[in-house]
Amino acid sequence: MEILQATINDLDGVLALHRKYHIGSIDEKDKPDGFVTTNFTQKQLEELINRENGITVAKENGAVVSYAMAASWGFWSEWPFFAHMIQELPKNSLNDQILSAENSYQYGPMCVDSVFRGTGVFEKVFFASLENMSNRFPIMVTFINQINHRSYAAHTRKGNMAIVGTFQYNNNDYYMLACPTKSR
């Protein structure tokens, strides 16, 4: 298995995996095992790859089986949801450091094909993404819908992310989680 930063050649594989597990298209029976909620256009994903170098993938026999997205708040700010998160940042802190758009970045969504869950792929992709962004930002921030128990468990147990706050948006309740990008 390869863990690497995505190139434009990986775009179709990322999109296929994203559609398979998106809340709007996931099979109902698969929803309790985790889902992603953010929609992307092909142009936005191209920008995420080219401008932010922000998609880490796991590939098995050339096929994308997992991805993690990460980018500056400037990239995410065009989505109303993320604009709301940017406003929420200063209400929260990690290790006595108040969160801001300057000292943190948004991580996620993260997705692992069900065939590869429980094999260590999550950890490999998560920590490779964290390492990729560590020279740009000291803090990783993400959100998890409070009904997405699998994602919450994976990020707090395997990714060592801490809840730094909660917020509501469009009648949904979210955890805001964060972790340092470098070990202390």
SS3 of the chain? CEEEECCHHHHHHHHHHHHHHECCCCCHHHHHHCCECCCCCHHHHHHHHHCCCCEEEEEECCEEEEEEEEECHHHHCCCHHHHHHHHHHHHCEECCEECCCCCEEEEEEEEECHHHCCCCHHHHHHHHHHHHHCCCCCEEEEEEECCCHHHHHHHHHHCCCEEEEEEEECCEEEEEEEEECCCC
The better pLDDT of the pair 151, 2 is held by 2
Residue range 43-71, pLDDT digits in tens: 999 999 999 999 999 999 999 999 999 99
Sketch out the chain's domains with CATH numbers. Answer: 2-180 (3.40.630.30)
- The proportion of the chain whose per-residue pLDDT surpasses 70, expressed as a percent, equals 91
Q: In this predicted structure, what is the pLDDT of residue 150?
A: 83
Mean pLDDT of 147-163: 90
Q: What is the mean pLDDT of the chain?
A: 90
Residue 25, pLDDT > 80, answer no
Residue range 87-128, pLDDT digits in tens: 999 999 999 999 999 999 999 888 898 888 889 999 999 999
